[in-house]
């Protein structure tokens, strides 16, 4: 259930390989609308809160998407949408992950 597109992008910077299809799902949603992105996040976030590895990858994808849209148009509503949901997921991870889970999160996202 990984994403070849996301893996190709990541290979430029790290040896991390995706464990979800989050990148592909957000790529589809952000072609539709900011609402589609928010709706997808609602579902993904509930799932990811139960598994620190899913949460880590979700935060990575949201961060990438936020910067992707920012480079296209800094005033795009999509930038604000991704910023808001990235902040929510990232802040959740920082507040709730402990010990090995927190170390995993910070080592992958740094």
In the chain, where the domains are located: 4-109
Percent of the chain with pLDDT over 70: 96
pLDDT higher than 70, residue 1: no
Q: What is the DSSP letter of 33?
A: -
Q: Computed from CA positions of residues 95, 101, 107, 109, in that sequence, does the dihedral angle turn out positive or negative?
A: negative
Cα 5 to Cα 10: distance, rounded to the nearest angstrom: 9
Q: What is the pLDDT at residue 83?
A: 97
Check residue 73 and give its pLDDT.
Answer: 95
Query: For the residues 31-46, what does the mean pLDDT come to?
Result: 97
pLDDT reading at 72 higher than 80: yes
Q: Does residue 110 carry a pLDDT above 90?
A: no
Indicate whether 25 pLDDT > 90: yes
Three-class secondary structure of residue 83 per DSSP: helix
Q: Is the pLDDT of residue 2 over 70?
A: no
Q: What mean pLDDT is reported for the chain? A: 93
């Amino acid at each position: 259930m990984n994403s070849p597109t996301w893996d190709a992008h990541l290979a430029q910077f790290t040896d991390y390989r995706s464990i979800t299809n989050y990148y592909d799902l957000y790529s589809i949603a952000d072609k539709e609308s900011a609402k589609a992105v928010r709706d997808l996040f609602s579902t993904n976030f509930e799932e990811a809160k139960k598994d620190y590895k899913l949460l880590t990858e979700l935060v990575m994808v949201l961060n990438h998407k936020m910067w992707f849209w920012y480079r296209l148009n800094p005033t795009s509503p999509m930038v604000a949408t991704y910023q808001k949901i990235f902040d929510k997921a990232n802040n959740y991870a920082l507040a709730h992950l402990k010990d090995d889970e927190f170390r995993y999160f910070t080592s992958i996202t740094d």
